[in-house]
Structure 1
Amino acid sequence: MEVDDRFLELNTKTCVVLGGRGFLGRSLVLRLLKLGKWNVRIADSANSLELDPSEHDSLLSDALIAGRASYFHVDVRNKDQIVAALSGSSVVFYMDYEDSHSNDIYLSYMFIVQGAKNVINACRDCKVRRLIFNSSADVIFDCSRDILNGEESLTYPWKFEDMLSDLKAQAEALILFANDIDGLLTCALRPSNVFGPEDTRLVPFVVHQAKSGLAKLIIGNGENMSDFTFVENVTHAHICAEEALDFRMVSVAGKAFFITNFKPMKFWQFISLILEGLGYRRPSVKLPCKVVWNVLLFMKWIDEKFGFNKYNHSTWAHYIQLASCTRTFNCSAAHKQLGYSPVVSLEEGITLTIKSFSHLRKELSLASFTEFTDESKADKLLGGGRVADVLLWRDEKKSFTCFLASSLLFYWFFIRGGTFISSAAQLLLSIIVVLYGYGFIPPNIYGFPVQKLSVTAFRQSDSVVRDSIMTLACLWNRGVHNARALARGEDWNYFLKAVAVLYLLKLLLERSLTMMLGMGLVFAFTAFFVYEQYEAEIDEFAKFFFIGIMELKRLLASHLPTPLMSFLCCDRVPHQATVSKR
C-alpha cells in the first residue's frame, strides 16, 4: 500500500482552478480531488478560504489538511498575484469570477478581458502547458435569430445586445489566439444554460420571480427549445478537455467546443419542472415577447429619467432573450474530439437541483392546502352556483357559448338599432317562428336523429317560481327600507354614498350606456377569472390601496373645521338611538 501511495505522489500533477470558489469552480475542485492524481490550487478573489458549514469534514477539508489542496488569493487584474498562484503548475482551469457580473462596464472589462490577458501572460511566464477556459454558448448569440443545432463554425456576432456576452467573447478570442505561443496550449468550452446545486444565477433568479408572481408569465409562445447543462457535466467536460489537450493536441488546441446534456427541451418546460418541484405554480399566462420587451424599455427609461436604478435591466434583458428564443447546439465535436459524454442525465440533474434548493421551497400554509379543495374568493363572490361556473370558465365550451349568446343579445338590443321594445318584440317573434318550425322537423333526417324538445322543458316547478318571487320580494323590501332610511336622514354617511353612486351612474349613462354595458359584459367574463388566478397579488394591491385611502381620509379629516368634524362623527348617534329603542 505504501508503494502505491509513493507512486501516486510521484505521478501527482499540480493544477490551478481560477475562480475555484464560484459555482462551477467548486464542482471542478471536488471532481479533481476525487480523481486523486491532482494537487489542486484554489484561486479566488476572497482574501482567505472560508469553508461553508456543509464543507466541514468533506473531501475538500481533508485535502486542505493533507496538503493536496491549497488556497491563493488572486485578483485577475493583478498579474503578480496570478503568477504566484500559477508558479510550478502544469494546467490552469480558468472559470467564472463572481465579481465579473457587474453593471459597471469598466469593472467588468477589467475582470473579464484584462483578466484574460493577465492570465495568458502569467501562463507564458510560468511555463504552464495547458489553459482551459470556461466560456459560454452566449458568445455566438446576437439575440436577433434562433440557433438550431448550432455548430462551432458559427462566428461571433458583429454586435451583442448583452455586454457580458460581448466581453466573454473577447476573452475567449484572446485565449484561443494565444494557443501554441511559448508552448501554451489552449481551448475553450461553451456550456449552455448551466444549472445545478449551489447555482447562483438561473435557479435563484427564477425562484425570485416566482415569489413576486412574475414567473406565471410565459414570454413568447412557449415552444422555443433550449439546451441545458448540469454542472457536473461541465466539470467533467473540463477534465476531458485537459486529457484531450494533452494527447490529441492538433484536433483540440486553439478550438472551442459546445457542451450540453445532449437533450434539448422546451425552455418553459424546464422552468416549469424547477418551479413545480419547489412548490410553485407552472407558468401559464402567455405574453408576446414584444410587449414584454417594450415594458422593459419603458422601465429602463423611467429608471434613467428619475435615477431609481431599482432593476438590473441587463439581467432581465438576457433572461427575456433566453426565454423567447430557440438555442440548441450540436455537441458532436466535443464527443468526438474530447471524448465527452454527460455523466448525469438531465432528469437526474433537475431532481438533484430541486433537492439542493429545498431552502427556497414555497412555504406551505393553510391556504396552500385548501387552495384546491375550498372554493376561491371569486367563487364565493359569485355565489358558487351556475353563474360562478360560467364566469370562472369551469367548462370552457359552456362559458364560451354563454359569452357568445350574451354578445349577440348585446348586439341585438344596443348596437343593431331600434328601440328596446321593438328589439324585444322582434326577438320574441323570431324565437316563436324558430320553435314553430322546429316542431315540424321529422325525428330523423337522412339517418341523423333530431332531438325533440319536450313540453316539460318550458315548465318551471312551483318551488322555483316561489323562490323567484321571494327573491324579488326581498329585493323590493330592502330597497324600500333603504329609501326610507335615506328619507328620514338617519345615516348621513349612507346618504352621501348613495348620492355619490347615483351621480357617478348619471355621469356614466350620459357618456354612453351602450359602451358601459359592453365594458360590463367583457368585465364579467374576464375579471372574476383573472382574480381567481391572481387572488393573492390582487388582494395585496387592494390592501395597499385601501390603506392609502384611509390615510388620505385621515389627513383630510385633520384639516376639516372642528364643528363639521364633530357633526360627521356624531351623525350615527340618532340612528343608533333609534335602533336601540326598537
Structure 2
Amino acid sequence: MAEHSDEIETTNDSLVEKITEKIHRDDSSSSSDSKSEKKTKCDDDDDVKKHHDAPSASSLKSKSNRLFGREKPVHQVFGGGKPADVFLWRNKKISASVLVGATALWVLFELLEYHLVTLVCHILILVLAVLFLWSSVSKIINKSPPSIPEVRIPEDTLLQFISALRIEINHFLQMLRDIASGRDLKKFLAVVAGLWLLSVVGSWCNFLTLFYMSFVVLHTIPVLYEKYEDEVDAFAEKAMMELKKQYAVFDDKVVSKIPRGPLKGKKKD
C-alpha cells in the first residue's frame, strides 16, 4: 500500500515537472518571437524612415539634369507673379490680349511706318475730345458727367522700381567687370558669342522688330519648355557634354599654348 502511494506521488511529481517545463518553454518561445517581431518592426520602421529622409536617386538625377542647373520651377524662375502668369499662359485671355496688342503696335510702327509721338498725340486728342464733348453734353441734358479717376504714381512703388533697376544695373556692370578682368574664360567666350549673334540679328532688323521678336519668344519658348521639360533637358544635357568636350580640345590645343608673362615675385618684408 505504501509502495503504491509512493508511485502515485512520483507520477504526480513527474507530471508537475513536465507541465512546468512546458510552460517555461512556451514562455521562452513567445518572448523570443515577440523580440524578433519587435526587431523586425523596428527594422521596417528604420527602412521607411531612411526611405523618406534620403532623397531618391531619380530626384537627385532629375535636379542635376535640369537646364542650366535649374532647381526652381519655370514659374518661379520668371518671378512667380503676374508677369510669369502672362508668359506661361496661365490665363489664356490675358496672354493672348497682350500678344495681340504687341503685334498691333509692331504693325503700326513697322509695317505702316507710324511714329510713336504721332500715335500718342492722336490717342490723347481722341480721348480728350470724347471726354470734353461728353462733359459738355451732360450739362446740357442734365445728366451726370463722366467720372474721371485721379491717377497718381505712388512714391513707394516708384522708389521700389528704381531700386530694383539699380540692383540689376549694378549686377550687370559687375559681371562686365569680372569678364574684362580675365577671371573666367568660359564666360568671356559666351558673352562675346552672344554679342556677335546679337549684332548679326541687329543687322537684319531694327530695334523695334528685335524687341518684338524677343517679346514673342518670351511668350512662346517658356510655355513650350514647361510642356516638354524632360525632353528638352535630356537634349540640353547631351549638348552641354559635347560642348565641354569641344572646349577641352580647344583649351588643350589653343589656350594652353598661349604664352604667359612671368609671375611677379613676392614682396619682401
Aligned-pair identity in percent equals 23
Alignment deviations for residues 297-339 of structure 1 (CA, whole Å, 9 cap, x no partner): xxxxxxxxxxxxxxxxxxxxxxxxxxxxxxxxxxxxxxxxxxx
Alignment deviations for residues 243-267 of structure 1 (CA, whole Å, 9 cap, x no partner): xxxxxxxxxxxxxxxxxxxxxxxxx
Structure 2 CA distance for partners of 1:538 and 1:495, relative to 1, 3 Å: closer
- 1:397 is aligned to 93
| Distance in 1 separating the partners of 2:181 and 2:83 | 37
- 1:454 is aligned to 149
Contact 1:376 1:532 in 2 (8 A): no
- 2:240 is aligned to 546
**Equivalent position SS for 1:498:** helix
Structure 2 CA distance for partners of 1:399 and 1:451, relative to 1, 3 Å: farther
- 2:105 is aligned to 409
Alignment deviations for residues 224-277 of structure 1 (CA, whole Å, 9 cap, x no partner): xxxxxxxxxxxxxxxxxxxxxxxxxxxxxxxxxxxxxxxxxxxxxxxxxxxxxx
**Equivalent position SS for 1:393:** coil
Q: 2:228 aligns with which of 502, 513, 534?
A: 534
- 2:158 is aligned to 465
Contact 2:106 2:209 in 1 (8 A): no
Q: Which runs of 5+ in 1 are unaligned?
A: 1-364, 368-374, 575-582
One-letter amino acid of the structure 2 residue matched with residue 391 of structure 1: F
- 1:432 is aligned to 124
**Equivalent position SS for 2:90:** coil
Q: 1:474 aligns with which of 148, 167, 175?
A: 167
Counterpart mapping for 1:43-192 below 5 A: none
The CA RMSD over aligned residues, in Å, is 3.6
Alignment deviations for residues 417-441 of structure 1 (CA, whole Å, 9 cap, x no partner): 26xxxx2211221232233134343
- 2:34 is aligned to none
| Distance in 2 separating the partners of 1:366 and 1:467 | 37
| Distance in 1 separating the partners of 2:154 and 2:213 | 35
Contact 2:131 2:146 in 1 (8 A): no
TM superposition shift of 1:499: 2.6
TM superposition shift of 1:465: 0.4
One-letter amino acid of the structure 2 residue matched with residue 506 of structure 1: S
- Structure with bigger helix share is 2
Structure 2 CA distance for partners of 1:525 and 1:540, relative to 1, 3 Å: same
Q: Does 1:380 align with 2:76?
A: yes
- Structure with bigger strand share is 1
One-letter amino acid of the structure 2 residue matched with residue 522 of structure 1: V
| Distance in 2 separating the partners of 1:461 and 1:469 | 13
Contact 1:392 1:528 in 2 (8 A): yes
TM-score, normalized by length of structure 2? 0.58
**Equivalent position SS for 1:394:** coil
TM superposition shift of 1:382: 1.3
TM superposition shift of 1:464: 0.7
Q: Does 1:511 align with 2:207?
A: no
Alignment deviations for residues 43-92 of structure 1 (CA, whole Å, 9 cap, x no partner): xxxxxxxxxxxxxxxxxxxxxxxxxxxxxxxxxxxxxxxxxxxxxxxxxx
Contact 2:102 2:212 in 1 (8 A): no
Number of residue-to-residue matches in the alignment: 188
Structure with more contact order per residue of length (Cα contacts < 8 Å, sep ≥ 6): 2
- 1:497 is aligned to 190
Contact 1:410 1:518 in 2 (8 A): yes
Structure 2 CA distance for partners of 1:554 and 1:469, relative to 1, 3 Å: same
Larger radius of gyration: 2
Contact 2:87 2:222 in 1 (8 A): yes
- 2:40 is aligned to none
Structure 2 CA distance for partners of 1:376 and 1:515, relative to 1, 3 Å: same
Structure 2 CA distance for partners of 1:546 and 1:489, relative to 1, 3 Å: closer
Q: 1:521 aligns with which of 206, 209, 215?
A: 215
Contact 2:88 2:223 in 1 (8 A): yes
One-letter amino acid of the structure 1 residue matched with residue 196 of structure 2: Y
One-letter amino acid of the structure 2 residue matched with residue 464 of structure 1: T
Q: Which runs of 5+ in 2 are unaligned?
A: 1-57, 61-70, 139-143, 265-269
Structure 2 CA distance for partners of 1:469 and 1:453, relative to 1, 3 Å: same
| Distance in 1 separating the partners of 2:176 and 2:214 | 26
Alignment deviations for residues 388-433 of structure 1 (CA, whole Å, 9 cap, x no partner): 1111111111111111111122223333226xxxx22112212322
